Amino acid sequence: MAGPLLSVDDLHTQFDTEEGTVKAVDGVSFDVREGETVCLVGESGSGKTVACESITKLVPRPPGRITGGEVRFDGEDLTELSGKALREYRGGRIGHVFQNPQEALDPVYTVGDQLVEAIRLHRDVPKAAARERAAELLDRVGIGDVSERIDDYPHQFSGGMKQRVVIAMALACDPDLLIADEPTTALDVTIQAQVLRLLNDLQDEHGMAMLFVTHDLGVVAEIADRVVVMYAGKVMETGDVYQVFEDPSHPYTRALLECLPGRGRALDTIGGTLPDPTSPPDGCRFHPRCPHAVPECETDGQPGFRDVGGGHDVSCLLHDDRHDLPRAMEADDD
Amino acid sequence: MTEHAHDGGEHGAGSGESDAVLSVRNLEKHYPVRSGLLRRVTGHVKAVDGVSFDVREGETVGLVGESGCGKSTTATSLLRLEEPTGGAVYFDGEDITEYDSSEEQAFRRRAQMVFQDPNSAFDPRMTVGESVAEPLGIHGLRDRQRQQRIVEDILERVGLAASDTDRYPHEFSGGQKQRIALARALVLNPDLLVADEPVSALDVSVQAEILSLLDDLQQELGLSMLLISHDLGVVRQVCDRVGVMYLGELVELAPTEELFANPQHPYTEALLASIPNPNPRQRGGAVELTGDVPDPSSPPSGCSFHPRCPRVVPPEGYNFPNDSFREVLDFRLDAETGDVDDDLSTAAAVREDYGLPPELPDGDADAVLSAAIEDVLAGDTESAAERLGDAFSTVCEREAPTLAETDAGHPAACHLHGVASEHAPPELAGDD
């Protein structure tokens, strides 16, 4: 294989607000290989949604602006493309699924009409053929009795069913990459389990890659091949799912894992709050809240990535040879 | 855990237990459904339908369930923020539904509530100090200086600074606002705190802070607490006992660790198995529930979970090993509602669509099923439904199970246990 399907390199996206410029995504890089599931994880305000909306330039402009970096999809730099050329990708080779299925569907058209529109936007096929394809898609995402339901309106579907319709729409043109932004957050756990399984099956069938944005580490453990942990617009750690969960190497990742509720012991908390997005701290973005911070963490920008083993990259000075602090981190494993 | 943790069997008895701060008995909240030109009442949504539980002194009880199961309505009805349509709520042994207005005001002081969204919980034009002091004024403490002392003290207790009194809500983050909401709820020194999804609008790291704050405050102040959440992790973290709700009913009630270790209701089991496990080496453990939560205005007969239950009790007289009745019942229910996919053209396709084996192990059962599939293929879904309904009727749809003691030592409302267990083959009635 030539290279990754999607390669985001040093992406910068900022918003001009009355309080100042917010660098929502501030030099983010990650790759998604063919057929792979990459999870972007982080708390609200970490820039994960903006990062994935920047890929196909869905960030509203103004106030949003992509100020630097490259987004290479199958070799082509999407940031250079015009609106018309981008529309070929959006919903074509790159499908999108958003958090709230309610807002993603037009209430005044039947789901069949919306699917037909999505298909014909990218493929020159007659209406009847598009409708056939729409029925096929609905059947595939688990909507029973398609011949009747295809003419129903979105309000006639439950939340979980609507999300299935949205997924069907994203799959309309057999995308190579599916970008799913918190697709199960608005759903109940039992329905979430159904949707995650569906996405997994679809991925196996079509071999598509998936970029999955979520704040829920449980969901990440369930579906990810690789994980990108974001904090305040920067990537803190990337690695495969086992590396990140079993050997979390950035103090922020550790803190996130430790504050998951329901693990039968007292909760650890991170303490402090997210930095002001208009004037983030110098040095490592996490240093004001980091229990292991040393004076060097406060200057010279976000530390460069260090490979702590097998493509497991961490942006933290503690993994620098000059510090023997990793032992301090291991000490609080007990 | 108190020593009374196992006596949950005597539900529906007259007044509450002696050490219970709050006793809820058969609480009902039915909303009328009106339709037509004259807005006549044509039915009821039974949001809460006969829920009974106790909250003892210093105890935290959790109510969990999916959206629409009635857990929030239970909270608002038992505080009489909405008038319940049936049942009784005893607070310190007195029925709150019979309070006069002065008694009600005293109750309002002693029972407080915290809501989900801290962003909409405050008047943006009032300072934090004014908002937190407001309940004091309403309940008769109007001395400004004393108010200020109390407010400053409570703000410090919830982890804010006394000097925050002069700031406005928008200056605070979501987690801090939830702390202010807690301060306001606790400023009157209540005995009972009802918290409705207090952390679900917050990030995990902030959730953890608020949950440990709740835990600390409860111990410090000896609060009794009712915590409503859809998140089983949250409930596990802070609750002593947990009630699981489904479609307006309490289906299981148990001490927290027991519920997690040994769930007795199939719904609880499915709910627990659906929580994504933050361990990438244990994937795909979710029990798949078929379908969605039913419409609460026309709940299913019998046990309201039977249309989705993976362990539905098979009909008498047939042999359905290992929960294999579920698929047959799915087919039957779809036939009844006319939802069988018209596009299926062969018997094999129908069987595949419903996950049915080419032949059921029980020959008699398979004969009925085959005939019904033929009916469907011939376009006669009604006779198929009738045929299946006559042959395969389960106790789960005929009788509503009641919350009864199980062998595990805590109550659950399921036919797999208790009096109806003679309906079930022994291997299902037992605990596996």
Test A222 with B276 for CB contact under 8 angstroms: yes
**pLDDT average, residue stretch B174-203:** 91
Percent of chain A with pLDDT over 70: 93
For residue B170, give Cα distances in angstroms to A46, B119, B175.
20, 8, 12
CA distance B315 to A91: 48
ipTM comes to 0.76
Task: Answer yes or no: is pLDDT of A328 > 70.
Answer: no
Q: Answer for the pair A303, A320: CB distance below 8 angstroms, yes or no.
A: yes
Test A217 with B278 for CB contact under 8 angstroms: yes
For residue B241, give Cα distances in angstroms to A176, A211, B97.
48, 39, 25
pLDDT top residue among B423 and A55 = A55
Test A218 with B339 for CB contact under 8 angstroms: no
pLDDT top residue among B323 and A225 = A225
Test A194 with B279 for CB contact under 8 angstroms: no
Q: Answer for the pair B121, B115: CB distance below 8 angstroms, yes or no.
A: yes
Task: Answer yes or no: is pLDDT of B2 > 70.
Answer: no
**pLDDT average, residue stretch A226-249:** 92
Interface test with A, best of B67, B176, B197, B204 (most A CBs within 10 A): B204
Interface test with B, best of A44, A149, A189 (most B CBs within 10 A): A189
Which range is least confidently modeled, A234-243, B123-132, B330-339? B330-339
Going by pLDDT thresholds of 50, 70 and 90, the confidence category of residue A188 is confident
Selection from A75-89, A184-198, B140-154 with the highest mean pLDDT: B140-154
**With an 8 Å Cβ cutoff, is B234 touching chain A?**
yes
User: Between the CA atoms of B428, B429, B431 and B432, what dihedral angle is there, to the nearest 10 degrees?
Assistant: -10
DSSP string, A60-111: -TTTEEEEEEEEEETTEEGGG--HHHHHHHBTTTEEEE-S-HHHHS-TTS-H
Of A161, A255, A262, the CB nearest to B232: A262
Instruction: Say what the pLDDT of residue B432 is.
Output: 39
Going by pLDDT thresholds of 50, 70 and 90, the confidence category of residue B4 is very low
List residues bridging with A181 in a β-sheet. Answer: A213
Residue window 291-330, chain B: list those with CB within 8 Å of chain A: 292-293
Test B341 with A146 for CB contact under 8 angstroms: yes
Of A145, A196, A262, the CB nearest to B237: A262
Task: Answer yes or no: is pLDDT of A63 > 70.
Answer: yes
Interface test with B, best of A190, A198, A219, A270 (most B CBs within 10 A): A190
Test A194 with B271 for CB contact under 8 angstroms: no
Please give the residue of chain A at the shortest CA–CA distance from B232.
A262
Which range is least confidently modeled, B11-20, B25-34, B82-91, B322-331? B11-20
DSSP 8-state code for residue B353: H
Q: Answer for the pair B276, A196: CB distance below 8 angstroms, yes or no.
A: yes
Residue range B27-81, pLDDT digits in tens: 999 998 888 888 888 888 889 999 999 999 999 999 998 888 889 899 999 999 9
How many other CB atoms are found less than 10 A from the CB of residue A299? 11
Residue range B270-296, pLDDT digits in tens: 888 888 888 888 887 666 777 777 877
Task: Answer yes or no: is pLDDT of B431 > 50.
Answer: no
Q: What's phi and psi for B306, nearest 5 deg?
A: -60, -30
Residue range A39-62, pLDDT digits in tens: 999 888 888 888 988 888 888 877
Q: Answer for the pair B155, B161: CB distance below 8 angstroms, yes or no.
A: yes
CA distance B102 to B194: 21
Instruction: Say what the pLDDT of residue B421 is.
Output: 46
Q: Answer for the pair B148, B165: CB distance below 8 angstroms, yes or no.
A: yes
Instruction: Say what the pLDDT of residue B6 is.
Output: 42
**pLDDT average, residue stretch B173-199:** 91
pTM for the model stands at 0.82
Please report residues of A whose CB lies closer than 8 A to that of B232: 189, 262
Single-letter amino acid, residue A151: D
Going by pLDDT thresholds of 50, 70 and 90, the confidence category of residue A327 is very low
CA distance A271 to A261: 16
**With an 8 Å Cβ cutoff, is B284 touching chain A?**
yes
Please report residues of B whose CB lies closer than 8 A to that of A215: 203-204
Residue range A106-121, pLDDT digits in tens: 999 999 999 999 888 8
Test A245 with B279 for CB contact under 8 angstroms: yes
Task: Answer yes or no: is pLDDT of B7 > 50.
Answer: no
- Residues making up chain B, counted from first to last: 432
Task: Answer yes or no: is pLDDT of A258 > 50.
Answer: yes
Residue window 373-402, chain B: list those with CB within 8 Å of chain A: none
H or E element in which residue B26 lies? strand B20-35
Task: Count how many Cα atoms sit within 13 Å of the Cα of residue B340 in the half-sphere of its side chain.
Answer: 31
**With an 8 Å Cβ cutoff, is B82 touching chain A?**
no
Test A245 with B208 for CB contact under 8 angstroms: no
Task: Answer yes or no: is pLDDT of B13 > 70.
Answer: no
